[in-house]
A and B are shown apart, each in its own frame.
Chain A
């Protein structure tokens, strides 16, 4: 009896000591990722106006493909508005469907890249390094959501648009893959501003941070930190209306869609 209690006492002391030591040690090594960026798109609110796609194109210097490339299906969309038809003619229903990169937790594109040009950042963004990309297009093929696009030609803008390119984003050159990056330059700018003021990021300033969310007149797109239990995006992602695309693949996207009716793919 006494042996048991003394052993328990010893173990309790040990556990206590470990608890005291462990956090301090971890804090000095590397702090855990604070943010996990995610997006919620409310399909019941979306009117299909395509403002998100236009805003994204302007924000991220995505070039217009031009008639030749478009006819070959080579135009680039970081944010694309797809339409899905449901039912037959008399009871036909059209669903608009904004489609950015899903930023999967377990993305197939990273596994197939032979040069490590696409990686997952510590905050969950699937980032793309155009300078490393060799243009093999394996990731384009592997993405089950077809959210990756190849630059088939040198990016060109009409003369009047050249002055309006966003200086915060580098245009991608011929022969590399590009994709939605959750406007990480805006996240970086928000972080810098927050750091200068000595505060942490607020959910209110993050909700409409990406260009697509900012431009959405129906407020169908909400961005935020999925790790923050108070955030709007976390609350909506746990809604009974929420679903993710091709969930059976196990890619665990961080883009959630909301829809009252059941989604049939």
Chain B
């Protein structure tokens, strides 16, 4: 009569011990990496060719976001301004600053500045700034307090689950369209945010953002 337990069953405790040790370790390592800023790039702060300070220009001088990022309301892309926009002021303000030399060169030669992109999503994600502005999603909701940043830093994970948190329940994240660029806006205590504007129906289908 054949044995009920063949000889390889002797190895079972060792295999079970290795699997028992390896499984939780991998699970912890996975969460450690994929749920952390190493993966989501929160805190990414590249050094730009010119140390442009949003804290000075937006926070202290009070420039509106749309003075430079002019296409944000009409286009999917919130443009990086041409150096001509910088020169509107800087042909009179700080004309001789050494830090601004690349800007002056760029404006003179017509070659665009090589700014380093901070907020990146994969190429199969089609994010539209105009749709979000029209729906009353403030700049600060995704980009953080830009008016307090010396160097622009990525403040949010820009991951799909993070997008879907709002797409499934946009109410708490909305504000009146007139307050979109206001960095310090807080919802009034007595009014529901959803009542400010017409209702929105953000897509939760794959094809809403992916093509």
Q: Give residues in A with beta carbon < 8 Å to B.
A: 31, 34, 119, 121-123, 125, 127, 129-131, 168-170, 181, 184-185, 188, 191-192, 195-196, 198
Contact = CB atoms under 8 A, between A and B. Distances in A.
A81 B201 CA distance: 36
Nearest to B132: A192
B134 A195 contact: yes
B163 to A, nearest CB: 15
B210 interface: yes
B116 interface: no
A195 B131 contact: yes
B82 to A, nearest CB: 20
Interface stretch (B9-17, B28-36, B121-129, B151-159): B121-129
A185 B211 CA distance: 7
B207 interface: yes
A170 B201 contact: no
18 contacts: A31-B201, A34-B201, A121-B205, A121-B207, A123-B205, A125-B205, A125-B207, A129-B206, A168-B211, A170-B124, A184-B207, A185-B126, A188-B126, A188-B207, A192-B131, A195-B135, A196-B131, A198-B198
Interface in B69-102: 73
Given A192-B131, A195-B131, A196-B134, A127 B207 contact: yes
Contact of B128 (A31, A121, A192): A192
Given A122-B204, A127-B205, A170 B123 contact: yes
Contact of B134 (A127, A188, A192): A192
A203 B207 CA distance: 21
Nearest to A184: B207
A168 B123 CA distance: 10
A211 to B, nearest CB: 14
Contacts, number: 53
B208 interface: yes
A190 to B, nearest CB: 11
A129 B122 CA distance: 14
B211 A122 contact: no
B211 A184 contact: yes
What are the nearest 6 A-B pairs in CB distance?
A121-B205, A127-B207, A196-B134, A192-B131, A184-B207, A170-B124
Given A121-B208, A181-B211, A195-B131, 15 more contacts: A119-B205, A119-B206, A121-B206, A123-B205, A125-B205, A125-B207, A130-B124, A131-B124, A168-B126, A170-B123, A170-B124, A184-B207, A188-B208, A192-B131, A196-B130
Interface string B174-211: 00000000000000000000000011110111111011
Nearest to A194: B134
Contacts of A195: 131, 134-135, 200
A169 B131 contact: no
Contacts of A119: 205-206
A169 B200 CA distance: 25
A157 B126 CA distance: 23
Given A170-B123, A196-B134, A129 B210 contact: yes
B134 to A, nearest CB: 4
Interface string B114-148: 00000000011010101100110000000000000
> Which of B126, B135, B211 has the most CB atoms of chain A within a 10 A radius of its CB?
B211
A192 B202 CA distance: 10
A22 B123 CA distance: 42
A188 B198 CA distance: 18
B205 A122 contact: yes
A245 to B, nearest CB: 23
Contacts of A188: 126, 128, 203, 207-208
A191 B198 CA distance: 14
B205 A192 contact: no
> Which of B73, B128, B203, B207 has the most CB atoms of chain A within a 10 A radius of its CB?
B207
Nearest to A123: B205
A170 B211 contact: yes
Contacts of B205: 119, 121-123, 125, 127
A165 to B, nearest CB: 12
